[in-house]
Amino acid sequence: MPEPWANYGIDLHLDLAGSRVRATLEAALRDAVRTGRLASGIRLPSSRDLAADLGIARNTVADAYGQLVAEGWFGAKTGSGTWVAERPVAAATSPAAPAAQRPADSRYDLRAGIPAVSAFPRRAWLAAGRAALAAAGDDVLGYPDPRGLPELREALARYLGRARGVHARPENIIVCSGYVHGLALICRMLSDRARSPVLAIEAYGHMLHQRIAAANGMRIASLPVDAAGAVADAAKASAAVLTPAHQYPLGVTLAPARRAAFVRWAARTGGVIIEDDYDGEFRFDRQPVGAMQALAPEHVIYAGTASKSLAPGLRLGWLVVPDAMIDEVIAAKELSGGANGTLEQLTLAAFIESGGYDRQIRQARLTYRRRRDRLIAALRRSAPAVRLTGIAAGLHALAEVPGHQNEADVTDRAARHGVAVDGLRLYTAPGHERGPALVIGYGRPAEHAFTTAVGRLCAALAET
């Protein structure tokens, strides 16, 4: 029988009035673990006891526990209750990042990596820009702080803490031109530290990322990916790139045990985990899982982007860099010469602070969930042999086609139906080929074109 929690003198500083009881409770629990007030191994009170103690519904506590188990803060076993996991430990389910893409020739574009740019909030964006410029002094027009505008870094720190559980102070944030720029800067830092360092990177992903890493001094080692996410096999690497929330493009999440293993590896070897949280806000079946960064802020560089939430054309991304590396990454950015315009940084800051960014994400989440549901229903009807895998999240799905089919034949058939779609092979490192599959991006088509696009894809898939 575990001692009641109160005996450990834990004070959650909880103010559980109001509508966000569960989020507040989760945040308080995470904070208690992070700061050591809840030490690893401590057993938590039952959800019933804690609920009674706090005067809230038992389900709220149970949900919060479940979330923190998924994120790897807590361990749980039926019959043994819930305890604080060992640190570095943990695991949850968070997400991955796509890259540059040429324009499609086909009328219906179901390639992955591009969001519903037709839903870009043009009016609200312009209004935010106008308001921000009107309020700004002349200083913002001069040569900017190499980390990015303070206004944007402050807005991002608040947003990332709130929405993704990221531990971010404005001083640790570096604004960059999308994920690819951030990745290039990190690789430059790593290759300044060591000669030809190894970057472990998931064997499935945008091959452009591997080319960028190689061009910036890294040797590439591919990490196998299975149903539990990337295999924690980064022994000789200086750094590992992961898409924990939503593997790109396989769509699985990184399992708790794998997260724990990567964090242990990082703590043991000094390795750097690069968390590519490209679509972390877009989880449909449950509340998004917090970023892996919060588990080990000193080992993880968190990378986020506006490319999926708003538009790739903005070329706005951000890194949250541990204290021990921040100066090196700033130097790498200065010496790369790349930087974002200050007016767009101001605009994004104003857009976030006005609540427009959250609103945009809520709407997009709804849109993508519906599109995903429609895609699933259509495939089930027209091409039942095709199997959609991966979690209900993001802007893309992996569709495994029957093994006797040839991937290139399938994409050719789709093209003849006017649909551009990529085969998995395009996203696969040599030696890691799997069975035939399509990476279907359901974000890009305009709303009016989506039904036709899916219909044509189904027609192509049914035609064997």
| Pairing label, strands 229-230, 225-226 | antiparallel
Work out whether 105 is an interface residue with its own copies (CB under 8 A). no
Binding mask 312-331 for its own copies (x = CB under 8 A): xxxxx---------------
| Pairing label, strands 300-305, 272-276 | parallel
Work out whether 210 is an interface residue with its own copies (CB under 8 A). no
Q: Note every long-range contact of 196-199, with CB atoms under 8 Å and residues 24 or more positions apart, other chains counting.
A: 197/237, 197/238, 197/239, 198/236, 198/237, 198/238, 199/237, 199/238, 199/239, 199/240, 199/241
Site for its own copies in 419-458 (CB under 8 A): 444, 446
Question: How far, in Å, are 377, 419, 452 from residue 455 at the CA level?
Answer: 11, 10, 5
Q: Given candidates 6, 57, 117, 135, which one binds its own copies under the rule CB under 8 A?
A: 117
Q: What number of chain residues touch its own copies (CB under 8 A)?
A: 58
Work out whether 141 is an interface residue with its own copies (CB under 8 A). yes
**Min separation Cβ 149 and its own copies, Å:** 9
The stretch near its own copies (CB under 8 A) out of 19-27, 32-40, 173-181, 281-289 is: 173-181
The stretch near its own copies (CB under 8 A) out of 16-24, 157-165, 249-257, 340-348 is: 340-348
In sign, the C-alpha dihedral spanning 213, 215, 218, 223 is positive
Q: Copy the structure tokens of residue 231.
A: 């295999």
Instruction: Find tokens 């450990």 and name the residue.
Output: 8
Q: Given candidates 2, 66, 81, 144, which one binds its own copies under the rule CB under 8 A?
A: 144
CB atoms within 10 A of CB 148: 25
Nearer to its own copies, 189 or 263 (CB): 189
- Residue 256 near residue 295, CB atoms below 8 Å: no
Q: Tell me, rounded to whole angstroms, the distance of Cα 135 from its chain centroid.
A: 32
The stretch near its own copies (CB under 8 A) out of 58-66, 84-92, 118-126, 408-416 is: 118-126
**Min separation Cβ 345 and its own copies, Å:** 9
Q: Given candidates 129, 161, 170, 418, which one binds its own copies under the rule CB under 8 A?
A: 129
Q: Given candidates 75, 88, 95, 182, which one binds its own copies under the rule CB under 8 A?
A: 182
Nearer to its own copies, 230 or 348 (CB): 348
Work out whether 47 is an interface residue with its own copies (CB under 8 A). no
Work out whether 340 is an interface residue with its own copies (CB under 8 A). yes
Instruction: Find tokens 């007016």 and name the residue.
Output: 343
Q: Given candidates 124, 133, 228, 462, which one binds its own copies under the rule CB under 8 A?
A: 133
Q: Given candidates 46, 191, 216, 222, which one binds its own copies under the rule CB under 8 A?
A: 216
**Min separation Cβ 139 and its own copies, Å:** 7
Q: Is 370 exposed, middle or buried (0-12, 13-18, 19+ CB in 10 A)?
A: middle
Nearer to its own copies, 283 or 308 (CB): 308
Question: How far, in Å, are 53, 231, 246 from residue 240 at the CA level?
Answer: 42, 11, 16
Work out whether 194 is an interface residue with its own copies (CB under 8 A). no
**Min separation Cβ 367 and its own copies, Å:** 15
Work out whether 208 is an interface residue with its own copies (CB under 8 A). yes
Work out whether 388 is an interface residue with its own copies (CB under 8 A). no
Nearer to its own copies, 101 or 106 (CB): 101
**Min separation Cβ 50 and its own copies, Å:** 46
Residues 6+ apart with CB under 8 A from 363: 119
Q: Given candidates 103, 403, 430, 431, which one binds its own copies under the rule CB under 8 A?
A: 103
Work out whether 176 is an interface residue with its own copies (CB under 8 A). yes
Nearer to its own copies, 50 or 99 (CB): 99
**Min separation Cβ 121 and its own copies, Å:** 11
Site for its own copies in 231-270 (CB under 8 A): none
Work out whether 41 is an interface residue with its own copies (CB under 8 A). no
Interaction site with its own copies (CB under 8 A): 99-101, 103, 113-114, 117-118, 120, 122, 125-126, 129-130, 133-134, 138-144, 146, 176-178, 180-185, 208, 211-212, 215-216, 307, 311-316, 334-344, 444, 446
